[in-house]
Structure 1
Amino acid sequence: MTPYELLWQPFADFAFMRHALVGCLALALGCAPIGLFLVLRRMSLVGDAMSHAILPGAAIAFIVYGLSLTAMSIGGLIAGLVVVLAAGLVTRATRLKEDASFAAFYLVSLASGVLLVSKWGSNVDLMHILFGTVLAVDDTALAFLAMVASATLLVLAGIYRALVVESFDPEFLQSMGGRGAWAHFAFLILVVLNLVAGFQALGTLMAVGLMMLPAASARLWAKELPALLGIALLIALLAAYVGLLLSYHADLPSGPCIILTAGIAYFISLAAGTRGGMLRSWLGRAHLEA
């Protein structure tokens, strides 16, 4: 097999592969920086919780409109925003912290969504919603993915400074009169938007993978924020491309292949990362013992 046949021919020959590649690359552009800020703000599990919070809205839209990605995306977006607002209100009105609030709503949302689809759908429908069908991405879905990626990058550019300061020193931002609460809320909306976009291609269970795994990997390679953003983005883009190729040549489901590719990058980073990787730590201890 020539390099062309291995690396590019699937995308040259099949339109559905090109659509899947463009959609996943757009998804990576939005998800990678969002995931990195979730990691920096110690909100990784919040991202996972939000990926399940959209399920009831998508399930209700599925019951009413069938397998319409547009309807399910709107339903998922509404459900995600409701959970964001409800978790924020619970956090401010009770002694529960934000992560505990999100965890509670996540469990209720996941159970409700699965019950709804199981009652009025089929196992095939449930698998479609949970794991997605990236190879079925059409022009409408591509336009939505591109819109979400563009909006994410523009809004992040606008709230970048407040987001960075709040990530590392929220008390300082409050003392300087910064609008940390608004930046935090805008950021949570971006999380929901990107998870809804990811739901179209990867399903509710897999969408968070392209958000968190590249970000966690980047933390093991760099310290400065621009470098972290660049590495996370590079890993997400490569995971999308390599995962699609792997799924095509090995005849495997595309979504899991993309996430497993990102997982392989994470394990490589764990072993060989220059900032906290196990190999570097072992060599450092061996040098001190010598």
Structure 2
Amino acid sequence: MHPSLALLTWLTDPWTEALTRRALLEVVLLGIAGGALGGWVVSFNLGYSAESLAHALLPGLVGASLLGAPLLLGGAAGLLVAAVAVAVAGRIPGLDRDTAVAVVVTALFGLGALLALSPDTPAGLQGLLFGDVLGVSDTDLALAGGLVVVLVGALTVLHPRLLVIGLDRLSAPALGVRTLTMDVTVLVLLAVTLLVAVQGLGNLLVVAVLIAPPSAARLLTRRMAPMLVVSSAIAVVGAVAGLYLSYYAGTAAGASIAAVLVGTYLVLAAGTAAAAALTRARTRPTPEPAGAPA
């Protein structure tokens, strides 16, 4: 077989089945959404919140099941309550953001664990929490597409206010920007993103898409707008590369995507550190030989 034809076959083989094509579209959509929102998550130091809010799904899902309500509605209610509770708890004097997140999420997760002792707990709960990127449905794709439209629109409208807080949180109120309102808004957007993404991708991939791409993008540029674009590009390319890795290496799709995204950040971080060290070594003044004339 001609090398060019072999390469073309290698590139197209993973997408010959409908389930892999749906997975590809899902990760592209969520890569765009997660990369864009992740820039603000990292800028606002909400990485721990992103990981923790995913666990807030549990009480909402179990409660909805026990009440006979749709699981998506229960998960949404649990996440929204957690997002607002975290933002409000973070305003308590003497209680930092990480502690507020830990208190709220631990309480919610404990409540969910108690509710899960009921024999009526849904059998598919574990799958909803951990997801399956190769098992996404047309409904999941529709939700992901809607998420991208809503999220990109909201972030575009809110960009100036978010930028003020990102640059100088303490001076934001004097400029007419309410930090609590923006914190709640970002956390609610984060909650909605988690709710949509975990349907097919699970906690592992959601956190990787939200944290690794913007962290890598911040190593390449410090300007917010370019960073959001680069973050989304890294998320999309990394997610597609992860699907290739999963297909040819036979590894789990979600874990493969997360590994590629985190690996991209580590490579860029190492490269940036090496370049900085080389620059310092080149600009360091050369000491004069001992005994040289003054």
Same fold (TM over 0.5): yes
Q: Which residue of structure 2 aligns with residue 228 of structure 1?
A: 227
Match of 1:281 among 269, 276, 279: 276
SS in 2 for 1:2: helix
Conserved in 2, the CA contact under 8 Å of 1:118 and 1:126? no
Task: Please point out which of 18, 24, 35 is paired with 2:38.
Answer: 35
**What residue is the counterpart of 1:83 in the other structure?**
82
| CA distance 1:76–1:278, change in 2 (3 Å) | same
Match of 1:107 in 2: 106
Contact 2:23-2:136 at 8 Å conserved across structures: yes
Aligned residue type for 2:49: V
Contact 2:32–2:148 (8 Å) recurs in 1: yes
Q: Is the 8 A contact 2:204 2:255 kept in 1?
A: no
- What is the match of residue 209 of structure 1? 208
Identity of aligned residues (%): 26
Task: Compare the two structures and name the one with the higher helix fraction.
Answer: 1
**CA distance in structure 2 between the aligned counterparts of 1:191 and 1:39, rounded to whole angstroms:** 12
C-alpha separation in 2, matches of 1:169 and 1:40: 11
Please report how far the alpha carbon of residue 126 of structure 1 lies from its aligned counterpart in structure 2 after TM superposition. 5.7
Alignment CA distance shift 1:53-1:203 (3 Å): same
Task: Indicate the SS of the match to 1:108.
Answer: helix
Counterpart CA distance in 1 for 2:114 and 2:193 is 24
Question: 1:63–1:284: structure 2 CA closer, same or farther, 3 Å change rule?
Answer: farther
Q: How many residues align?
A: 281
**What TM-score does the superposition give when structure 1 sets the normalisation length?**
0.87
151-160 or 106-115, larger mean C-alpha shift: 106-115
Cα distance in 1, alignment partners of residues 109 and 118 from structure 2 = 14
* Partner AA of 2:81 in structure 1: V
* CA contact 1:117–1:126 (8 Å) conserved in 2: no
Letter of the 2:9 counterpart: E
User: Deviation string for 1:72-107 (max 9, x for gaps)?
Assistant: 332221111111222233334553233311122223
CA contact (8 A) 2:215 2:265 kept: yes
Matches within 5 A, 1:35-54: 35-54=38-57
Change beyond 3 A, Cα 1:93–1:265: closer
Partner residue of 1:2 out of 3, 6, 18: 6
Q: 2:290: which partner in 1? A: none
Amino acid at match of 2:276: S
Q: Deviations over 1:201-253 (max 9, x none)?
A: 22134321111010111111111112211211111001211111111122221
Change in CA separation of 1:245 and 1:4 when aligned onto 2, cut-off 3 Å: same
Alignment of 1:246-265 (within 5 A): 246-265=245-264
Quick one: distance in 2 between partners of 1:46 and 1:191?
A: 9
Deviates more, 1:225-234 or 1:178-187: 178-187
* Cα separation, 2, equivalents of 1:194 and 1:118: 28
Give how far 1:4 is off. Answer: 2.1
Q: In structure 1, what is the Cα distance between the partners aligned to 2:70 and 2:93?
A: 34
Cα deviation, 1:6-55, whole Å, max 9, x if unaligned, reads 222221x1111111111111111111111111111222212111122223
SS at match of 1:207: helix
In structure 2, stretches of 5+ residues that fail to align are 287-294
Provide the alpha-carbon RMSD of the alignment: 2.6
Q: Structure 1 residue 141: deviation in Å?
A: 0.9
The change in CA–CA distance for 1:179 and 1:105 in structure 2 (over 3 A counts) is: closer
Matched residues in 1 for 2:224 and 2:88: separation? 31
Measure, in 2, the Cα distance between the counterparts of 1:63 and 1:15. Answer: 35
Provide the residue aligned with 2:291 in structure 1. none
Cα contact 1:16–1:136 (8 A) shared by 2: yes
